C-alpha cells in the first residue's frame, strides 16, 4: 500500500507474490518513503529502496537496502539491480492488465507506456459500466460513464438500486416470461410490458386462458407488446381498449 501499487499484489492476478508483500515493518516502510529523501521528494511511494528492492539514484548514500535489512535475500536484491531507476509500479507484474508480461511495462524500460497499463488507470476504471451501480444492474458492458463516444449514459446518475429495471421485477414483463432488463432494457428502451401492472389485466391476457393459445407461454391476448394473437377469442380486449397503451 505504501508503494501505491494498483490492483492485486499478494499474489498478483497471475499468481506472483511481489517483493513488497514481505515489507511489513512500519519503521522500515517509513525509512524507504521517497519524501524522506531530498532528491526523491517529488516521487510517490517508496524509493530508498522501491517496493521491488531497487535503490533509486536519488537516494542518499546512507539508505539501506531491504537485503541489508534482511527483508529480501541478497539474491533477490541482485536480480532487481538490472532494473535500477525503474519507477515504482513500473513492473508488468504490478499492473493487472500487463501481469502476463515480463519486465517493466508502465512504463517500459524505453519509457513507452504499454496499452495494457490503462487497465489499471483509476479514470478508465471509473468509466466502466460494471463499476457504476446503475449501469451494472442493467447488465451493460464496456464503458458507460462516459461511453467510448464521450456520451454519458443515463444509468451513470442512478442513485437507486436498479434491480427495478429487471423484467422479473415488473409484473407485466415477468408474466410475459421476458429475461434480463425491461424497464428499461440494456439499450435504454422502456418496453410496453412495463406499463402492465394490474393483476387482473395480466391474468386476463395469459395464453392459458384461451383454448387456442393454451400451449403458448406468457401473455397472448394481447402479448406484452400489445399484439393480439390470432389464437385469442374474439372477446379478448386489447391493452389499448383498456387504456393501458
Q: Are both 43 and 70 inside the same structural domain?
A: yes
Residue after which a domain boundary falls, among 61, 88, 120: 120
Rounded CA-CA distance 78/65 in Å is 11
**Is the domain of 206 the same as that of 174?**
yes
Same domain, 174 and 94: no
Judge whether 203 and 209 are in contact, CB under 8 Å.
Answer: yes
Q: At which of 100, 135, 163 does a domain end?
A: 163
Please tell me the predicted confidence (pLDDT) of residue 29: 80
Q: Whole-angstrom Cα distance, residue 117 to residue 91?
A: 10
**Residue 74 sits in the same domain as residue 114:** yes
185 with 233, same domain: the answer is yes
Report the C-alpha gap between 228 and 47 in whole angstroms. 72
Q: Say if residue 46 is in the same domain as residue 115.
A: yes
CA dihedral of 122, 124, 130, 131, whole degrees rounded to 10? 30
Confidence at residue 159, expressed as pLDDT on a 0 to 100 scale: 43
State the pTM of this model.
0.34
- Residue 5 forms part of a structural domain: no
Nearest residue to 236 via CA among 245, 226, 218, 216: 226
- The residue range of the domain holding 221 is 166-245
Overall number of domains in the chain: 3
Please report whether residue 177 resides in a domain: yes
What does the pLDDT read at residue 174? 92
In a domain, 2, yes or no: no
Q: What is the pLDDT of residue 175?
A: 92
Digit-by-digit pLDDT tens for the chain (245 residues) are 655 666 566 666 565 666 667 677 777 788 888 888 887 778 888 777 777 777 777 776 556 555 555 555 544 444 444 444 555 567 877 776 676 678 887 778 877 777 676 554 556 677 778 777 677 767 777 788 888 788 888 777 654 445 778 888 899 999 999 888 888 777 677 888 888 989 999 999 999 988 889 899 999 988 888 888 989 876 676 666 777 76
Residue 240, domain member (yes or no)? yes
Amino acid at each position: 500500500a505504501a508503494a501505491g501499487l494498483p490492483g492485486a499484489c499478494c499474489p498478483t492476478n497471475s499468481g506472483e507474490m511481489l517483493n513488497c508483500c514481505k515489507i511489513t515493518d512500519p519503521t522500515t516502510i517509513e525509512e524507504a518513503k521517497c519524501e524522506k529523501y531530498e532528491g526523491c521528494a517529488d516521487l510517490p511511494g517508496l524509493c530508498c529502496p522501491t517496493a521491488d528492492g531497487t535503490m533509486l539514484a536519488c537516494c542518499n548514500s546512507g539508505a539501506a537496502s531491504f537485503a541489508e535489512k534482511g527483508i529480501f535475500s541478497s539474491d533477490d536484491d541482485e536480480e532487481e539491480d538490472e532494473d535500477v531507476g525503474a519507477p515504482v509500479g513500473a513492473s508488468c507484474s504490478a499492473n493487472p492488465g500487463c501481469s502476463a508480461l515480463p519486465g517493466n511495462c508502465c512504463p517500459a524500460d524505453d519509457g513507452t507506456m504499454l496499452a495494457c497499463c490503462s487497465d489499471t488507470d483509476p479514470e478508465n476504471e471509473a468509466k466502466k459500466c460494471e463499476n457504476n451501480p446503475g449501469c451494472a444492474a442493467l447488465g451493460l458492458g464496456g464503458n458507460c460513464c462516459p461511453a467510448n463516444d464521450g456520451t454519458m449514459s443515463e444509468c451513470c446518475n442512478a442513485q437507486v438500486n436498479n434491480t427495478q429495471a429487471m423484467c422479473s421485477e415488473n409484473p407485466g414483463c415477468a408474466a410475459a416470461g421476458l429475461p434480463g432488463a425491461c424497464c428499461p432494457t440494456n439499450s435504454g428502451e422502456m418496453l410496453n410490458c412495463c406499463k402492465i401492472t394490474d393483476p387482473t389485466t395480466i391474468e386476463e391476457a395469459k395464453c392459458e386462458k384461451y383454448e387456442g393459445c393454451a400451449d403458448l407461454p406468457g401473455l397472448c391476448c394481447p402479448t406484452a407488446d400489445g399484439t393480439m394473437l390470432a389464437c385469442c377469442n374474439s372477446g379478448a380486449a386489447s391493452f389499448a381498449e383498456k387504456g393501458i397503451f
